[in-house]
Amino acid sequence: MQSISMCRKVNTKLIKRIIADWLKVLLLLLDDIAVLLLIILVLRFLKVRIPLPITIAAALVVGTFVFMIHKAVMPSFHKSPVTGPEAMIGIQGTVVKPLTPVGTIIVNGEYWRAESVNGSNMGVDENVEILGLDGLTLKVKRKEP
């Protein structure tokens, strides 16, 4: 009996989540819908008739577009953003002042103090990968090709 009520709770949560996701997609598509309506109004004003097969084809294209948006966008609604030091790990940078073993690298257009994790020296223009952060000093290793 308890498992049935638990399934209903899960199903209710899932249904609410799906409805909320579709409402988000519809809000994202409002500007596209407005443009389509404007095109239709302009065509009617200019007395351009659109044949039924073209209307059906256009509806299928729009339907496919909505489905693709659903598949592409929905998972991003449920990902938690990665911020802080964890967001830096794995990013690549380029050495601008030699690491002996401490120097400077550039990452996403920003200059950072960096230190080689294994104490090896690295020259200018070498690619490095960020492994961690100690205060404001990035811990890096030479990027393997």
pTM of structure:
0.48
Q: Are residues 112 and 73 in the same domain?
A: no
Are 129 and 143 in contact by the 8 Å Cβ rule? The answer is yes
Bond into 101 cis (ω within 30) = yes
* Residue 93 burial (CB count, 10 A): 23
Residue 1 pLDDT greater than 60, yes or no: no
Domain span at residue 53? 2-77
Number of independent structural domains in the chain: 2
CA distance 106 to 92: 9
> Which residues are CB-neighbours of 90 under 8 A, at least 6 positions away?
129, 130
**Terminal CA-to-CA distance of the chain, rounded, Å?**
58
Helix boundaries (H) for 46-129? 52-77, 85-88
- Considering the domain architecture, whether residues 61 and 124 belong to the same structural domain is answered as no
The tens digit of pLDDT for each residue in 55-71 reads: 889 878 987 887 787 77
pLDDT digit string (tens) for 82-129? 777 778 899 999 999 999 989 999 998 999 999 999 888 999 999 999
6, 73: one domain? yes
